Amino acid sequence: MNIRVAVTSLAEGELCLTEDAARYVARVHRLGVGDLFLAFDPEARTEADVEITDVRRGVRGKVGPVRPATAVATAVTVLLQAIGKGDKPERVIRDATALGASRVIFVESSRSVVRVGDRAEARRHRWHAVAVGAARQSGRGDVPAVEGPMTLEAALATVAPVALKLCLSPSATTRLADSVGRRAPGDAVALLVGPEGGFDDAEVAMASEHGFIPVVLGRFVLRTETAAVAALGAIAALGPAP
């Protein structure tokens, strides 16, 4: 069953899809009465099979027994990402969702070119929708919490209990792969990724004071959003098996 639809407050019984979800099911995938799709509730981390019963007035269906979602993030991986301009935050959210991040925290730094200000609430609503869409496409049954933008100091303080804290730095001598490979099973990971041009000296010192270890990803300098995705992929691939 490849068609997945996000549903809020998923429960066994009758279901009427929202206008956007109905369009996705009936017009994009051309499903009809008797066809099945998988509904998932990313907040509750549950899912259920749904049989379509009516497509004349929207899309209605019969929800079967609700069960725990089969594919959810099992490890705690927190991405602290310097906020970028344009659609870069959305690109980071999509990839972080597909790579199993449990939290995405956008931070403002001295070299950030974006200041969200009064638009923060609207942006967070949009970012959550992007995460839900990425979960649907990737087969994930939950979504990461998307937070911020906040100051670097505030973001660092929120991950104080995390066991392994890494900060990408092209001048570091320790490889990310080595640090991740040595972590104990169950250890949470926080990954700090700076803006284009990197963090300034004061911000690097602040991260160090909060226990972040500078690590290098590879030989080449990457764009900030590319570095985040590559590092999250390495953490997912090189960490201990769940």
* Domains contained in the chain, CATH given: 4-68 (2.40.240.20), 77-238 (3.40.1280.10)
The pLDDT score that the predictor gives to residue 230 is 94
The pLDDT score that the predictor gives to residue 45 is 96
pLDDT along the chain (242 residues), means of 10: 90 95 94 96 96 93 96 92 89 96 92 63 88 95 94 93 92 90 85 90 93 91 90 84 48
Residue 237 three-state SS: helix
Q: What are phi and psi of 222, to 5 degrees?
A: -110, 155
The pLDDT score that the predictor gives to residue 57 is 83
The pLDDT score that the predictor gives to residue 54 is 95
The pLDDT score that the predictor gives to residue 80 is 97
| Alpha helices in the chain, H assignment, sequence order | 19-23, 88-98, 120-138, 152-158, 176-181, 201-209, 224-238
Q: What is the DSSP-derived secondary structure letter of residue 186?
A: T
Check: CB of residue 227 under 8 Å from CB of residue 88: no
The pLDDT score that the predictor gives to residue 231 is 94
